[in-house]
Structure 1
């Protein structure tokens, strides 16, 4: 399944690497955003299936609230952060958190899992790198 993915990451090299990985997997990267305002604007103008959301963006620790808002709008949200303890209790509507730094395989398995869940397809188990909320 080709998905429309929004990358919300303020570190340009990390965002670029994620874009390459996702495009190599056949997904459509709608855009990358470095702050919450840009991400909200892009999401409002595009049909987004999945958002990979860093917690600390260029405008501060705005990723948690942003992820909650995107989930309320029907976007599947996976947080990516070097500090997963910040979301250990979960975020309403978000699927889970992937710890950074990560590798291509972890991104691939987490995205595949998130998209299967979004489609309501059966999944045997979550990838070990993806900490699910409410699990």
Structure 2
């Protein structure tokens, strides 16, 4: 799977890239700002993306997420505060809350890879908050 990383914290982006590549996937690029992310999207469209909400140029991750959703590219947010996400999760599959563990990322990546490949029968790992589950729980 070709994966894009949109994260302005360089160390986190590097760790995420290592985990993605260790799982046998390819990182098509990293972006630290919304503007960089849009340029990368045009140059190397991914099959999936990890997107932080707060980027170098402000809270542009949500805008970029919407651009991914418009192109039917699945993605998850990686954020320190998922409560900042809009009610519709901006079209994301879900979110991984920071701080996360590398094991949590690996489990989420395995699940995401299976779902993107068409295997909808898996249960999501605890590290991944699915948008539909979040909305159902918080609408009560």
**Cα-Cα RMSD:** 1.3
Which of residues 10, 24, 27 in structure 2 aligns to 1:26? 24
- Indicate yes or no: 2:116 matched with 1:118: yes
Could you list the per-position Cα deviations for residues 73-103 of structure 1 after superposition, in whole angstroms to 9, with x for gaps in the alignment? 1211100000111126232421000001111
Where does residue 62 of structure 1 map in the other structure?
Answer: 60
Could you list the per-position Cα deviations for residues 31-62 of structure 1 after superposition, in whole angstroms to 9, with x for gaps in the alignment? 11000111111111113011100000000011
Which of residues 103, 106, 124 in structure 1 aligns to 2:101? 103
Where does residue 71 of structure 2 map in the other structure?
Answer: 73
Choose between structure 1 and 2: higher helix proportion: 2
**TM-score (structure 1 length as normaliser):** 0.92
Alignment: residue pair count: 133
- Structure 1's unaligned 5+ residue stretches are none
Moved more, 43-52 or 8-17: 43-52
- Structure 2's unaligned 5+ residue stretches are 134-140
Alpha-carbon distance between aligned partners in 2 of 1:62 and 1:127, rounded to the nearest angstrom? 27
Where does residue 37 of structure 2 map in the other structure?
Answer: 39
* Contact 1:90-1:96 within 8 A present in 2 as well: no
